[in-house]
C-alpha cells in the first residue's frame, strides 16, 4: 500500500513530459571520493530510437546508465523515465516497477555458469512472474529464436563461444519484454565479425519490436552500425548529440579525434 500520509509525493513524481521523450536526464552530477566523474549531464532519449552513448573508457558511461535502473544515484540532477522523477523515489518497490520496463545487458553479461542456457533465460521469468512451466519453456524458446540460437536450451554456458554467450545474455535481458534495453559495451572483447553480428542483432531487435535502445560503447564501428543518434560523453558532460552523419561531420575536434582513433588524436603523450 502507498503511504496515505504523503500523497503529495505522487504529484511530485508524476510529471507531464513530451511523449516522444522516454527518458530525460538533466544536470546529472556524480563524484566518487572527491573525483567528479559526471559534471552536469543533459540527455534526452526518444521513444523507439537507438541512442549510442560514446566516450572513452573510464569516462562515466556505465555510471550514467546505472542510474537509470537505480544502481547508483546522482549527487545532483533530475532523471525522468516515462513521466516519473525517479530521483524522488522513496522505495525499492517504486524502482522495481521501472526495472520491469528496462532490460540491462551488463558489461561482461555473465551467465550463471551452473545453469543451462534455458535456465538462464528462464531466470527473470521465474523471479518476476507466476507463469506455468509450459509457458516459461515457450517464452525461453521464443527468446532464443530472437537471438538466433534456437534449440540450445540444454547447453551449458561453458560450451558456447563469447558471441553466443552475449546473445544468450540478450535473450535473458529480453525475457520480460522490456520496452527499453540498455546495452553496456555489447561488443567489447569480441572479434570484429562477432561484433558485427551482435550489432546487427541490436538493430534487428529495435526494428522488429520498436524497443528504445541505449547502447554504451567506446567502439566507433558498433556506434555507426546501430545508432539513430550518438551522444558523445566527454569530460563528464554530453559534448554533442547528433545523427551518425552529423557526428561523422562534427566540427568538434574531440569528436574527430575519437572517430579517427584516439592514438592519432592523442597529443599529450
What is d(CA 103, CA 262) in angstroms, rounded to the nearest whole number?
A: 31
Number of amino acids touching Mg ion (CB under 5 A): 1
| Residue 206 engages Mg ion in binding (rule: CB under 5 A) | no
What is d(CA 201, CA 225) in angstroms, rounded to the nearest whole number?
A: 11
Burial of 28 (0-12, 13-18, 19+ CB in 10 A): buried
Residue 178 binds which of Mg ion, ligand ADP, none (CB < 5-8 A, kind-dependent): none
Residue 125 binds which of Mg ion, ligand ADP, none (CB < 5-8 A, kind-dependent): none
Hey, which bits of the chain come out as E strands? 21-32, 35-46, 50-54, 76-81, 84-85, 102-105, 180-184, 212-217, 229-234, 237-242
R_g of the chain computed on alpha carbons: 19
Q: Shortest approach of ligand ADP to residue 158 CB, angstroms?
A: 27
Residues in contact with ligand ADP by CB under 6 A are 32, 37, 55, 57-63
Residue 32 binds which of Mg ion, ligand ADP, none (CB < 5-8 A, kind-dependent): ligand ADP
Residue 60 binds which of ligand ADP, Mg ion, none (CB < 5-8 A, kind-dependent): ligand ADP
* Of 24, 44, 50, 62, the one binding Mg ion by CB under 5 A: 62
Task: Give the nearer residue to ligand ADP in terms of CB position, either 37 or 80.
Answer: 37
The residues binding Mg ion (CB under 5 A) are 62
Amino acid at each position: 500500500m502507498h503511504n496515505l500520509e504523503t500523497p503529495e509525493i505522487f504529484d511530485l513524481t508524476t510529471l507531464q513530459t513530451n511523449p516522444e521523450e522516454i527518458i530525460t536526464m538533466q544536470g546529472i552530477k556524480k563524484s566518487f571520493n572527491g573525483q567528479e566523474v559526471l559534471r552536469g549531464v543533459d540527455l534526452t532519449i526518444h521513444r523507439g530510437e537507438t541512442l549510442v552513448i560514446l566516450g572513452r573508457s573510464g569516462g562515466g558511461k556505465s555510471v550514467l546508465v546505472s542510474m537509470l535502473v537505480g544502481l547508483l544515484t546522482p549527487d545532483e540532477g533530475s532523471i525522468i523515465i516515462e513521466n516519473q522523477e525517479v530521483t524522488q523515489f522513496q522505495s525499492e518497490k517504486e524502482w522495481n516497477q521501472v526495472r520491469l520496463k528496462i532490460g540491462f545487458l551488463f558489461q561482461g553479461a555473465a551467465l550463471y555458469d551452473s545453469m543451462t542456457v534455458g535456465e538462464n533465460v528462464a531466470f527473470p521469468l521465474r523471479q518476476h512472474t507466476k507463469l506455468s512451466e509450459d509457458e516459461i519453456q515457450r517464452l525461453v524458446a521464443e527468446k532464443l529464436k530472437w537471438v538466433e540460437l534456437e534449440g540450445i536450451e540444454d547447453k551449458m554456458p561453458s560450451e558456447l563461444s563469447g558471441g553466443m554467450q552475449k546473445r544468450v545474455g540478450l535473450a535473458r535481458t529480453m525475457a520480460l519484454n522490456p520496452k527499453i534495453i540498455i546495452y553496456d559495451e555489447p561488443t567489447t572483447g569480441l572479434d570484429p565479425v562477432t561484433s558485427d553480428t551482435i550489432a546487427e542483432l541490436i538493430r534487428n531487435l529495435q526494428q522488429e519490436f520498436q524497443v528504445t535502445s541505449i547502447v554504451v560503447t567506446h567502439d566507433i564501428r558498433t556506434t555507426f552500425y546501430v545508432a539513430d543518434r550518438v551522444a558523445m560523453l566527454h569530460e563528464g558532460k554530453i559534448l554533442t548529440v547528433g545523427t551518425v552523419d552529423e557526428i561523422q561531420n562534427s566540427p568538434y575536434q574531440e569528436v574527430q579525434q575519437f572517430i579517427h582513433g584516439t592514438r592519432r588524436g592523442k597529443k599529450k603523450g
